[in-house]
Structure formats: C-alpha cells, structure tokens
C-alpha cells in the first residue's frame, strides 16, 4: 500500500486511510441516498462521480497507485454490499412479511430498494475495471493515475448505460462512440513513453546484475529474503543472465517506463539505476 515516492507513511497510517476511506465513503453515499438528491438521477450521478474522483485523487496522493485504485474499488464494493445488506434484503423481507400478514405494502421500501439496486447496477462495471486494472501497471503507475481512473469509470458507466437502455429496447447508439473514444484516448495517454537516454556509455552486464541483486532479488529469486514475498512473485526470478534476458520487455515496462517495480519501491531503487537498466536493454541486453 505504501510507496515512499508518493508519501512516506507508516503502515498503521496506510491502514487507517484505507479503512477510513471505505467507512467515510459509505456514510457520504448513504446520506446522499437519504437526501432529496436521490430522486434527481442525473444530478446524483454527476455528484457521485465527482466524489469518487475526489477519493481517487486524495488516495493517489497518500497510497501507492496500485493501492489507491484498489481502495476506490473497495469503496465502491462497500457501497454495493452495504446496499444489499442494509436496504435491499431488509426491504424485501419486510415486503414479504407484510404480504404474508395481509398488512398494506409500503411503496417507499420497494422504491428505495429499486434505486439502490440501480446504483449497484451502474457501479458493477467500474468495479470490474478497477479489479483488472491492477494487471495493467500503465494505468495505476501513470503520473496522472487518478485521472485515468476517472476516465475508466466514466467509460465503463457509459457502457453500462448503453446495456441498460438496450435491454429496455431503447437505442443509445451515441454511447458507443463516446465509450470507444474514451477508451482509445486512455490507451494513447497510458502508452509508455519509449525509453530514450542521452547517455551512450555502454553498460556491462555485471553492473546490471549488481542492481538486480540489490533491488530485485529480495523478491525475484529462488530464495527470496523478503518478509512478505516468500516465493518468487509469478515465478519470476532474476538470479542469472538468462532469467533476466528473457524478461527484458517486462522489466522495461515495470521498472523503467512505469516504475511499478520494485513493489512500492521497497528496496529503494534510484532513478540512476533505472536509467542504467533501461540503457542496457536499449543497447541489446548483452552478456559481454
Ligand atoms: C518487494 C518485492 C518485490 C521487489 C523488490 C521487486 N518485485 Fe517485481 N514483482 C513483485 C510482485 C509481488 C509481483 C507480482 C505482481 C505484479 O505483477 O505487480 C512482481 C511482478 C514483477 C514483474 C511482472 C512479472 C509478470 O509475470 O508479468 C516484473 C517484470 C517485475 N516484477 C520486475 C521487477 C524488477 C525488475 C525488480 C527490481 C528492479 C522487481 N521486480 C522488484 C514483487 C517485487
């Protein structure tokens, strides 16, 4: 969760921020649902979106990009689960009980449950997008990661809106180009910049291996010494030339283009070291 390059906080603080964001997010959402705003669907959607973006922005200034994304997802997931447990199921139980006992049905209950299910329906796709975004370091590793998250959210809600209208027999065809343009824009914005070094000094593999020993082998090795990663993550090890050589594309992406490795920069890799590895790969990653 912690990336010292973003903010050097303790794990206790990071956990408090994480839990605090979920609890406060739910409270704000629940209050909005109890306000007259909930009946103005468009205004509710716009304000809800702005609040989600603010959460993403603030979280991205305190946690690692990856954790910031996950916490926005967790906040949205908390809202979905909260809706089911605190409104949808209780209203359904009450309506069934009223029907069984022959009491008059309270139409407000069904209406509120319906609105909250509708919110859940729109939240699903952003949550799924956020879940898979963690496999795409170009999104959470980007300097403007919170804005990318906002873009992903709006594009996925547009897709959901299209599906919903389509199911009602309405054709919101304009939604498709909107979502497509939004996604293409995101692809262009997140495309990693090509590595370009002004320095042409040849890099020796021995120098590169030393950096891997200091910054990567703590996790990526046949015998990791990390306190959390007890086996090499994804089976990826950098113990020798062959192992490093076959992963150069991904190393370039994770350690140089996006700097999403070392994880949370736990081993304190420097900008100069990234440049050396990048230059070695750009020079053909040879083992002289
Ligand atoms: C503190 C532990 C840790 C350190 C140190 C670390 N990594 Fe990782 N690495 C991980 C974890 C966990 C994953 C799997 C999750 C992910 O892909 O983000 C991973 C995944 C990767 C991947 C993607 C592998 C795949 O299958 O796609 C690459 C490439 C990588 N690391 C490169 C590096 C490089 C290069 C360094 C050193 C500069 C480094 N890592 C340092 C923990 C670490």
In sequence order, what are the residues at sequence separation of 6 or more whose Cβ sits closer than 8 angstroms to the Cβ of residue 216?
238, 255, 261, 262, 267
pLDDT confidence band for 134 (50 / 70 / 90):
confident
Locate 31 and state its tokens: 């209050």
30-52 mean pLDDT: 95
* Residue located nearest, by CA, to atom 25 of ligand 1: 234
In sequence order, what are the residues at sequence separation of 6 or more whose Cβ sits closer than 8 angstroms to the Cβ of residue 125?
156, 157, 159, 160
pLDDT at 262: 94
| Tally of CB atoms within 10 A around 49 | 16
Give residue 76 CA to ligand 1 midpoint distance, Å: 27
Cis preceding-peptide flag for 262 (omega within 30 of 0)? yes
Chain segment 53-83, per-residue pLDDT in tens: 999 999 999 999 999 999 999 999 999 999 9
pLDDT at 35: 95
Give residue 263 CA to ligand 1 midpoint distance, Å: 6
86-102 mean pLDDT: 94
> Is the CB–ligand 1 distance for residue 116 below 6 Å?
no
> Relative to the CA of 273, which ligand 1 atom is closest?
38
For residues 31 and 189, which has the higher predicted lDDT (pLDDT)?
31
**Per-residue pLDDT at 207 exceeds 80:** yes
Spatial contact of 91 and 110, defined as CB atoms under 8 Å apart: yes
In sequence order, what are the residues at sequence separation of 6 or more whose Cβ sits closer than 8 angstroms to the Cβ of residue 245?
285, 287
pLDDT at 28: 97
Q: Look over the chain and give the mean of its residue pLDDT values, rounded to a whole number.
A: 93
Chain segment 157-200, per-residue pLDDT in tens: 988 998 898 888 887 778 888 888 888 988 888 887 788 888 88
pLDDT confidence band for 12 (50 / 70 / 90):
very high
> Is the CB–ligand 1 distance for residue 226 below 6 Å?
yes
> What gap in Å lies between CA 279 and CA 252, rounded to an integer?
10
Chain segment 239-283, per-residue pLDDT in tens: 999 999 999 999 999 999 888 899 988 999 999 999 999 999 999
> What gap in Å lies between CA 183 and CA 175, rounded to an integer?
12
Give residue 244 CA to ligand 1 midpoint distance, Å: 12
pLDDT above 70 as % of the chain? 100
pLDDT at 203: 95
* Burial state string for 200-239 with b = 16 or more CB within 10 A and e = fewer than 16: eeebebeebbebbeebbbbbbbeebebeeeeebeeebbbb
> What gap in Å lies between CA 53 and CA 44, rounded to an integer?
14
Q: Which of 2, 230, 233 to mutate to test the pocket of ligand 1 (most atoms within 8 A of CB)?
A: 233
- Is the Cα dihedral 8, 9, 10, 14 positive or negative? negative
pLDDT at 193: 78
Nearest Cα neighbor of 248 from 214, 208, 215, 221 is: 208
* Residue located nearest, by CA, to atom 4 of ligand 1: 262
What distance lies between CA 274 and its chain's CA centroid?
Answer: 24
Give residue 275 CA to ligand 1 midpoint distance, Å: 17
Locate 20 and state its tokens: 């605090």
Give residue 268 CA to ligand 1 midpoint distance, Å: 14
* Burial state string for 130-166 with b = 16 or more CB within 10 A and e = fewer than 16: beebbebbbbbbbeebbbbbbbbbbbbbbbbbbeeee
> What gap in Å lies between CA 260 and CA 255, rounded to an integer?
6
Nearest Cα neighbor of 195 from 271, 261, 257, 283 is: 257
Give residue 261 CA to ligand 1 midpoint distance, Å: 5
pLDDT confidence band for 143 (50 / 70 / 90):
confident
> Is the CB–ligand 1 distance for residue 255 below 6 Å?
yes
| Tally of CB atoms within 10 A around 37 | 14
> Is the CB–ligand 1 distance for residue 236 below 6 Å?
yes
């Amino acid at each position: 969760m912690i990336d010292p390059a973003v903010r050097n906080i303790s794990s206790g603080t990071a956990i408090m921020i994480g839990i605090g964001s979920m609890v406060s997010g739910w409270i704000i959402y629940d209050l909005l649902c109890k306000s007259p705003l909930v009946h103005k669907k468009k205004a509710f959607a716009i304000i809800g979106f702005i609040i989600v973006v603010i959460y993403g922005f603030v979280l991205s200034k305190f946690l690692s990009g990856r954790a910031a994304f996950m916490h926005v997802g967790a906040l949205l997931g908390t809202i979905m689960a909260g809706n089911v447990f605190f409104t949808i199921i209780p209203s359904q139980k009450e309506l069934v009980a009223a029907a069984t006992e022959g009491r008059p049905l309270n139409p407000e209950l069904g209406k509120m449950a319906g609105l909250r299910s509708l919110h859940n329906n729109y939240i699903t796709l952003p949550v799924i997008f956020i879940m898979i975004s963690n496999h795409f370091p170009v999104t959470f590793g980007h300097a403007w990661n919170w804005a990318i998250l906002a873009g992903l959210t709006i594009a996925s809600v547009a897709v959901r809106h299209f599906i919903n209208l389509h199911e009602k027999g309405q054709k919101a065809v304009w939604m498709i180009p909107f979502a497509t343009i939004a996604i293409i824009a995101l692809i262009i914005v997140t495309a990693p910049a090509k590595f370009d070094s002004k320095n042409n000094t040849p890099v020796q593999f021995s120098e590169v291996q030393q950096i891997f020993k200091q910054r990567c082998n703590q996790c990526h090795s046949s015998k990791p010494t990390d306190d959390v990663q007890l086996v090499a993550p994804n089976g990826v090890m950098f113990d020798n030339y062959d192992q490093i050589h076959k992963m150069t594309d991904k190393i370039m992406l994770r350690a140089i283009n996006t700097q999403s490795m070392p994880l949370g920069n736990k081993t304190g890799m420097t900008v100069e070291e990234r440049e050396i590895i990048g230059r070695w790969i750009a020079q053909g990653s040879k083992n002289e």
